[in-house]
Structure formats: structure tokens, C-alpha cells
Structure 1
Amino acid sequence: MVFNRSEYYISPEEYLEREKLSEIKHEYIDGEVYAMAGASDTHVTISGNFYILVHSHLRGNACRVYMADMKVEVEKVNRYFYPDLLVTCDDRDREFEYFKKYPCLIVEVLSKSTEGYDRGKKFADYRKLDTLQEYVLVSPEEINVECFRRDEAGNWVLYSYEKDDEVHLTSIDFHCPIKALYEDVNLPDIRNS
């Protein structure tokens, strides 16, 4: 069956208003909305650990960190996403109450159902954000953090962190032992250390 796109298209403004009242979160992709699934204990724990560490690091700084419920607008491609964590250091973002447009750092905790999308199309969309300096993917299955960092030429370079490494995020001058991100997570690598 073929659907007329105009029957289901909603404007970004309508999406933002509906999202304020919605009991579940939706991502917005070029006029269409997609419900988001709930997250696992591991996913939520890693996200929370990351938030606490980054929030502590940024305390007293002009940068702001947001977790899970703050949207990122990718205006160039007409998208709104809910990253697991985002940091903005741009004063222009203070005017937006329900979304941010100028993040320097975005973190996604992977899941089996979203990993391909997070690595592929979503990352391609995020790369349209001129202010984005780092995109971080965190594995919930093993101690592994991948940081894609934009270099001076605009290329995205992968920095990979594994067991016993220290994670370094240059966008906010953040350092922490990788195990701190996985605190209270039940993984074989953690149980055996």
C-alpha cells in the first residue's frame, strides 16, 4: 500500500508542541515521527554514569550537559533526535527550552536494535552540525568506547578506548578511566577485574 506523504507529514513546530505533551519520546525525521523504545538497565546505568562524570567536570563552566530528554535539532536535514547525552557550550542554545542546536559533544549508548543506525545514518545527520566536535558511541556489551573526533581539516578520526584505558574528550577537556563509565554494570570484563 502506498501512502500519500502529506497525510502523515507534520511540521517541526507541530512536532515540538506534540512532544511537550507526549508520554513517550519520538524522534522527528523530515516530517515523520518515530516512537523510541525503552532502554535496558545497562544502557541507563552507562548513560547516568557518563552524565554524572561530565556534569561534575563542567560544574562552574559555561557549558551545559543534558541527558536523554533533551532533543538536538539538525536543521540542515530537518531532524530532531534524543541523544543519550549532549553537551553545548554555545550561548545561542540558551534561548531554546526544548531542544539544542549547537552541541559540541554527542554520546549514544548503543543497543542491538539501533547500532547500525547510530553508526550510519544518524552519524551522517549529526555531521551536519557545524559545532559538533565529537561523537561518542558506547558499547553496552563490552568495555569499549569509540570517539569520532573532527580534526582541523574537517575529517572524522576514530579514537578507540578499551579496558584499562582513560577516555579523553577534547571538546570539553574531559578525562576519566573507562571503567568509571561502566560502574555498576554487570559485564564479564568488569566482574573479572
Structure 2
Amino acid sequence: MEYTIEDDDELQTSILREAAVAYGKSFFTEKEYLSFEEKHLNKFEYYQGQIFAMAGAGARHHIIFKNVFGELAYKLKKKKCQPYGSDLRIHIPENTLFTYPDISIICGSILPSVFDAETGTHPTAIIEILSNATRDYDKGMKFRLYRDIPGFKEYVLIDSETVAAEVWRPAPEGERWLCKKVNNLSGALFIKTVELSLRMEEIYEGTLLHD
């Protein structure tokens, strides 16, 4: 298995995407956002007073999610750290972001947001499944916002367009984040937070993607 290591300097120029629709207001409070979400079937993000429509997911995204979440749920049964799917909204009080990670790994009890008891905070690790529509945001600004989470230790990115995965962890000195990449089906993705290896061929099973 071949890994490469790099820091996150290239991510610093990424910016948050523009709000998809103005929704008739220029600024929303957190409570107004939560009320807005209750009235809509689709999922929306919130950041610093603005509401953003979330991109939809394709077939390969759903297949990869099923493969990864199923493996984590099975191997982590009755463990301290548990995986939660994209139905769990996450709030980051440090920067105001509300979002729906594809998979959040939370160790211990879910700490609720002060704005909503059903919204979680402080995941230890997050897994995002990349598509062409979300890749730049997930690898750029969203990653920067996730790093504001106290105790956040691992960010896993799995591409749904090609066989490629990245695992980001803070460097020992704590100033930078380092990346380990896996780009072949014979490799494995190690999630240190839960001490588990996921085989790439199992992650991509059913997607028809090849090295």
C-alpha cells in the first residue's frame, strides 16, 4: 500500500460557495435556520447568517456510503465510538456552521447543540464522500471549518468518481494537518480514531470503478 504525506497549504485559498438562493432575507439567526429546515424536505447548511442548499448525491455516492457505514456499524457495535449517517445534523458553535456530514464518528454520548437537542456537536472524526459538485468545498473551506471542532482528530475523504481516498490527521506539533492517500483497490483505509482498516475493494464494491 502506497501513502503520500503532505500538509494542507494548498487548501488555504478555498472559499465558501455562494448561497444558492437568497430565500428572501440577507441574514438568518440560528433559530430561524432551524425553523426554515423544518418546513423543507431537502437539507440545508447554515453559516454566519446564511442558508445554503446542499448538493444531491449520485448512485455511487450511495453505494460507497452503504459499504462504509455498514462496515463501521458492524465493527463498532457496542463500542464507545459510534458512526452516525447524514441524517444527523452537526453544529459547530465555534464558527456557527450547521451541516450534515456523510458520516460522523462520535465517541461517547452525543452532545446536543444549545439551539436544538436533536443536533449533535463535537464529532471526533468525519467522513465525506466526494463528488464533482462537492469536492472543492469538502477539501477546502469545509475542512477548515471542521478543524474548529474541539477534539476533532480525523477527516476522511472518499472519492465517488475515481478510486481515491485521503485521511487527514493533525501533525504531532498540532499546527498542520498531514494527509495519507490510498489510490488503489488493493490498499486499505486506516481510521485511527476507531483503530479500523477498511479495504478499498470493499469500499468501492458495486461502483464499477477500477484502479
Bin the TM-score by the shorter chain.
0.7 to 0.9
Give the structure-1-normalised TM-score: 0.88
Structure 1 residues 34 and 53: alpha-carbon distance in aligned structure 2, compared to 1, 3 A threshold: same
Correspondence for 1:170: 192
TM-score by length of 2: 0.81
User: Aligned partners of 2:112 and 2:50: how far apart in 1?
Assistant: 27
Other-structure match for 1:136:
156
Please point out which of 94, 97, 104 is paired with 1:79.
97
Which residue number in structure 1 is paired with residue 178 of structure 2? 157
Is the 8 Å Cα contact of residues 90 and 103 (structure 1) preserved in structure 2? Answer: no
In structure 1, the residue matched to 2:165 is 145
Structure with more relative contact order (C-alpha pairs < 8 Å, separation 6 or more): 2
Pairs within 5 Å for 1:4-19: 7-19=25-37
Residue 124 of structure 2 aligns to a residue whose secondary structure is strand
Change (3 A) 1:179 1:150: same
Higher helix share: 1
Percent identity of paired positions between Structure 1 and Structure 2: 27
Q: Which amino acid aligns with 1:81?
A: T
What residue in structure 1 maps to residue 121 of structure 2?
A: 101
Please say if residues 92 and 148 of structure 2, whose CA atoms lie closer than 8 Å, have aligned partners that are also in contact.
Answer: yes
- Change over 3 Å in CA distance of 1:49–1:92 after alignment to 2: closer
Q: Is 1:187 aligned with 2:205? A: no
Unmatched 5+ stretches in structure 1: none
Q: CA RMSD in A?
A: 2.0
User: Per the alignment, do residues 90 and 60 of structure 1 end up closer, same or farther by CA in structure 2, a change over 3 Å counting?
Assistant: closer
Equivalents in 2 of 1:42, 1:63: separation in Å? 26
Matched, 1:48 2:69: no
Tell which deviates more after alignment, 176-185 or 62-71: 62-71
> Residues 90 and 102 of structure 1 are in contact (CA less than 8 Å); yes or no, is this contact kept in structure 2?
no
